[in-house]
Amino acid sequence: MDAELFKQQAKAQILAAGAERCPLEIRGGGSKSWYGQQVQGDLLDTRAYSGVIDYEPTELVITARCGTPLAEVEALLAQHNQMLAFEPPHFGSAATLGGTVASGLSGPSRQAVGALRDFVLGAVLMDGKGDILHFGGQVMKNVAGYDVSRLLAGSLGTLGLILEVSLKVLPISVASSSRRFAMTEADAIRSLNQWSGLPLPISASCWQDGMLTLRLSGAQAAVSAAEKNLGGEVVADADNFWQAIREQTHCFFAAATSQKFLWRLSLPSTTASLALPGETLIEWGGAQRWLITDVDAAQIREAVAAVGGHATLYRTNGAIDKSAGVFHPLAPAVAQIHRRLKASFDPSAIFNIGRMYPDF
């Protein structure tokens, strides 16, 4: 579809929905439609608005439309030995760039390079009035509106239709090696935090069922020196292992059922093992912990809040009961800020209503 025609049709649909107070569900490929609360409303499909607008490898920036397949973006970058360094999960071949940014999800390398939001340089948004707003730019030193661009990462389409986005990209590492160590959860947490203070090229970590796996990435000399310093066993087929962690096809995640839910716990990396029953997988140097359990949501969130973290009801694997709320409850002052932002960008309250919180 012609780009201008798509914007005209999207604006008309948004204005009509606003006039009738009819909710809209903004969706691309739907690969992450399970993430968050249930959404009601007419579909605003972004897939027709597709294509890379600008990519200059020497500038390390790519700008593309919201409906562009994520796989297409990554394939283009790979041709120039570059990548989306935050390793966004696809969760299916239909994943789009707009949905990737809206979900705000990052992969195993988050601990080393930062989150998706740290790579958003600029964005173009169509708000609830049908106006097209430009934020940020295509270079890191262009800071005008930069925070607003980052704000869209993880907004789950509740603020408007992300039309275009500019992302910083990085070169693919020259060398990579994965090593594995047998150790307890407590030893893994302690080791990860000790190693984080050393000049080691650790780009990913994963502890599960008594085994800690590290990925080392960077210059060949740095990776070789780290291998010698750390030891451990070489991980065969390491690329597939890290992809399975990123895409949650690893056998650990299969243990989630309609009775045992998958929780994502965001904690200070030094936090000791929580006294919560269930199966655990640890990433990001100890800061992200996956928990599969049937424990009551209130008990989980109380334990997590006590150590300064928050808990997200990530997957329910077929169960539809999300009455406990998917995302950690907001403090009153923070909730008020959310409501004001929502009212500013979406005054008619039509975009992805309830996706993040029932009253938002």
Instruction: Note the pLDDT tens digit of each residue in 262-308.
Output: 999 999 999 999 989 999 999 999 999 999 999 999 999 999 999 99
pLDDT average, residue stretch 200-215: 98
- Reply yes or no on whether the pLDDT at 360 is more than 90: no
Task: Assign 358 a pLDDT band (cuts: 50, 70, 90).
Answer: confident
pLDDT average, residue stretch 170-181: 97
pLDDT at 142: 44
pLDDT at 40: 85
**Which helix or strand (DSSP H or E) is residue 192 part of?**
helix 185-196
pLDDT at 288: 98
Contacts of 279 (CB under 8 A, 6+ apart): 252, 255, 291, 292, 293
Task: Choose the weakest-confidence range: 29-43, 256-270, 312-326.
Answer: 312-326
- Reply yes or no on whether the pLDDT at 103 is more than 50: yes
Task: Assign 105 a pLDDT band (cuts: 50, 70, 90).
Answer: very high
Task: Choose the weakest-confidence range: 102-111, 198-207, 332-341, 345-354.
Answer: 332-341
Q: Name the residue among 228, 109, 231 with its Cα closest to residue 179.
A: 231
pLDDT at 352: 96
pLDDT at 23: 96
For 134-170, how does the pLDDT look when each residue is reduced to its tens digit (9 = 90+)? 998 765 444 444 478 889 999 999 999 999 999 999 9
Q: 326-352 burial, b for 16+ CB within 10 Å, e for fewer? A: bbbebeeeeeeebeebbeebbebebbb
| Mean of per-residue pLDDT scores for the chain | 93
pLDDT average, residue stretch 82-99: 97
- Reply yes or no on whether the pLDDT at 317 is more than 90: no
pTM of whole model > 0.85?
yes
- Reply yes or no on whether the pLDDT at 255 is more than 90: no
SS3 track for 195-239: HHCCCCCEEEEEEECCEEEEEEEECHHHHHHHHHHHCCEECCCHH
pLDDT at 138: 60
pLDDT at 1: 75
